[in-house]
Homo-oligomer: A and B are copies of this chain.
Amino acid sequence: MSLRAVKPQHETRTRILDAAEELFMQHGFEATSMRLLTAKAGVNLAAVNYHFGSKLALIEAVFRRRLDPMNLARIAELEQLEAQSRAAAPEEIIRAFLSPTLELVEDAKGGGRNFIRLLGRAYTEPAKPVRQLIGQMHAPVMDRYKSALERALPHMPREELVWRMHFMFGTLAYTLAATDTVQLIAGCKPEDRYDARLLEDRLAAFLNAGLNAPLGNTIRKAA
């Protein structure tokens, strides 16, 4: 008798996660009501609480679904790089960090692109619980990459490296969050905004140059 008789197990969960991903990206966490969300997902209002327990737990699940595999991939790429006989170049490390993220940019149908923009926004989310969540999920990866970059750039002062990593992370976060803002700066063909390989090349070139910028000014003025 059901209209969705062939619904697989856990499809409700997935439908909720997909709808949440899209609506959180469009309107933010606070502004997305469970009513709107469940309506879009085509499920009952009570389903969110039944399957996830609370709105915050749903937010956490949305991030875990994508972020855990992404961070595993980042670690894997870095380990592959470090298994080589020669030392890894800074740009290789940067690309290892970027590529698992940018792969999702091309996944428009699966919702990966939605998530990527959501992720970019979450880094500057005002709500403390959400930022803590993201911070916790990223912390171990950041530590690994920080160590890798320290080995690749042995002469850079630690403090300067931390700042430059911060800058790099910011460039990525904003680029993910605000891909639509490029048009604000100038018209550019929309289709190549989402070419992941091209975007990775552009980002890697910019970030690698920034990471290796001359140290003179800051050292002099800080002294």
Contacts and interface: CB of A to CB of B under 8 A. Distances in A.
Nearest to A195: B222
Contacts of A67: none
Interface centre among A26, A172, A177, A212 (most CB of B within 10 A): A177
A185 B160 CA distance: 12
Interface string A1-35: 00000000000000000000000111110110000
A166 to B, nearest CB: 5
A2 B148 CA distance: 64
A222 B195 CA distance: 10
Given A28-B30, A185-B165, A186-B146, A214 B221 contact: no
A104 to B, nearest CB: 17
Given A120-B124, A170-B178, A164 B28 contact: no
B166 A181 contact: yes
Contacts of A206: 163-164, 167, 210-211, 213
A152 interface: no
A204 B218 CA distance: 10
Chain A, interface residues (CB within 8 Å), range:
35 or more
Copies in the complex: 2
A217 B188 contact: no
A125 B121 CA distance: 7
A135 B2 CA distance: 48
Contact of A121 (B26, B124, B181, B182): B124
A184 interface: yes
Given A166-B181, A171-B171, A174-B174, 15 more contacts: A26-B126, A28-B30, A121-B124, A124-B124, A124-B178, A139-B184, A146-B185, A162-B188, A163-B202, A164-B206, A167-B171, A169-B185, A170-B174, A170-B175, A171-B210
Interface of A: 24-28, 30-31, 120-121, 123-127, 131, 135, 138-139, 142, 146, 158-160, 162-167, 169-175, 177-178, 181-182, 184-186, 188, 197-198, 201-218, 221-222
